[in-house]
Amino acid sequence: MSSISVLGQEKVEREVRVKEHQVPMEARKWLKDAFEKIRKPKWYKEFSELGYSFEAKFKLKDRFHSVEFDSLGNMLDVEIEIEWEGLSDEVKANLSSHFVGTLRGFKLEKIQIQYSGLPADLEDFFDEEETDGVLIQFEIEYQAEDQSKVIRLWEGTFSSDGKFLAQRRIVVREIFNLSF
């Protein structure tokens, strides 16, 4: 684990449920344009070490979606939960190589495919499956030992082919995290 350069970074978040009218109009409009078939997303205000953002959570085609917007309502990224079996063989091989080769005592908790790019490009991707201008990565939450052999919760970012990019420790405060 000493070869991972971002070990000192931490992710500390707190989510608070908000009503739709409390979310910037730009965020609400983008979400309705990009995901026309959703009815009533659940909206959250997410506080982190960087400030706050808004997040819409909903289920579509049996998959959990999370769309994050900055405090002004500008779209940041879309994350869709995916199962291990839904990954390509290449991605699985690269992820396995990283986890087995660098971590001890690991357990995968959640895998999400993450889409980012310009709002218009992302809207085209979700409406018409156009991939121009869309960055695809994976965000994976997992438990693994840290340098002192204590099991901790981590968030790793991986490229579209499953190669390791970054990692940070998740500081969990059970009382503040909302799951669906």
Give the whole-angstrom CA distance, residue 5 versus residue 2. Answer: 7
- Beta strands (DSSP E) in 23-101 are 42-48, 51-60, 63-70, 75-81
Cα angle 167-52-11, degrees, rounded to a multiple of 5? 20
Contact 7, 1 (CB under 8 A): yes
Question: Strand, coil or helix: what is 71?
Answer: coil
Q: Cβ-count burial of 68 within 10 angstroms (0-12 exposed, 13-18 middle, 19+ buried)? A: buried
Give yes or no for a contact between 113 and 82, defined as CB atoms under 8 angstroms apart: yes
For the chain, residues with pLDDT lower than 70 are 1-9, 172-180
CA distance 166 to 164: 6
pTM: 0.85
What pLDDT is attached to residue 179? 56
Q: What is the pLDDT of residue 112?
A: 98
